[in-house]
Copies of this chain bind each other. A is one copy, B any other.
Amino acid sequence: MKINAGIAGATGYSGEVLVEMLLKHPDVRIAGLYASIDKPKISDIFPKFKKRIDLECKKISASDMADKCDLVFLALPHTVSMEIAPKILSCGKKVIDLSADYRLKNTSVYEKFYKVKHKDKSGLKEAVYGLPELYRQKIKKASLIANPGCYPTAAILGLAPALAVNLINSSSIIIDAKSGVTGAGRKLAEASLFSEINEDFKAYKVNNHQHQPEINQELSKISGDKIEVTFVPHLLPLSRGILETIYINKAQNSKLKVHGLIDLYSKFYKSEPFVRIKEEGIFPRLKDVAGTNFCDIGVKDCGDKIIIIVAIDNLLKGASGQAIQNMNIMYGLPEHTALI
């Protein structure tokens, strides 16, 4: 018996990747595609799908989703998901939400960044933060997954091992992040034109990005302390990938040396299928993770400071790949199915 999966927001970049990956999934049947534009065939929107899938996108309808699907991936704009998700859940179906709607536990922070009141506080309470490396057991039993943001995925995976053992001064975290352009989605904006981005590089939302509170919330949970990171995202002239260079001060009494650091990280992620720790002196690059669900991490001990470099594909481990990893966990399937 295959899982009947629905994809809402099938015409965006995350939706495109979900279709792409689920077509290869032996245990999934794509039961419905949903989009704000009515009626187009997915293979007209993305001609790469010709001869592979011939489904029409339907209007977004919670009841149709609940009717046709066992599980729905919501790859919708922020603030739309929280109107749809409760209705699907109330019919006993499952939801993996790729928007920010169920990530921030503090609704006033949500409202500050998304300029709208939160409409589903009970869903918010129930939602499990879908980062398998930290919350696999909860994900197994969850009905509603808040799939992590792309920047937070890299930041949390990069910092968790050090934070978990109180190795670092938690007030000193600086995250210099660089993302490919698909991170911004497919919406029209002058800043997203080829001629504006090609041969350019710049910071944006300097220390004021909507993913920053998500990072703070999750790191604080791990650390026990209230953490507020410094976070500067930049836009790379390439399509896919996020690389974060993280700078932290060691905690005062820390005695860790470089091998210790690599050992620490390697042990922490020993059984993880999608996290790879680099050998000493080697650091991640986007090329090695683009098109994959892997998260590559390199660490360097610099005396008082530690430098951590993390790379993921923003549309896979940073979005749709992780969503499928979560689905695999929820249904007891081998975690790497359709992902390797």
Contacts and interface: CB of A to CB of B under 8 A. Distances in A.
Contacts of A174: 174, 247, 305
Nearest to A200: B287
A246 to B, nearest CB: 10
Contacts of A192: 193-195
> Which of A13, A190, A283 has the most B CB atoms < 10 Å from its CB?
A283
A323 to B, nearest CB: 20
B236 A206 contact: no
Contacts of A196: 194, 287
Contact of A195 (B186, B232, B243, B311): B186
Nearest to A179: B201
Interface in A188-235: 188-190, 192-204, 206-207, 230, 232, 234
Nearest to A185: B195
A44 to B, nearest CB: 9
A178 B234 contact: yes
Given A47-B288, A340-B52, A245 B199 contact: no
Contact of A276 (B51, B178, B200, B273): B51
Interface string A50-82: 111000000000000000000000000000000
A289 interface: yes
Contact of A199 (B200, B240, B294, B305): B240
Given A192-B194, A230-B302, A289 B199 contact: no
Given A192-B194, A200-B285, A203-B283, 6 more contacts: A47-B278, A194-B237, A198-B237, A206-B283, A206-B298, A232-B245
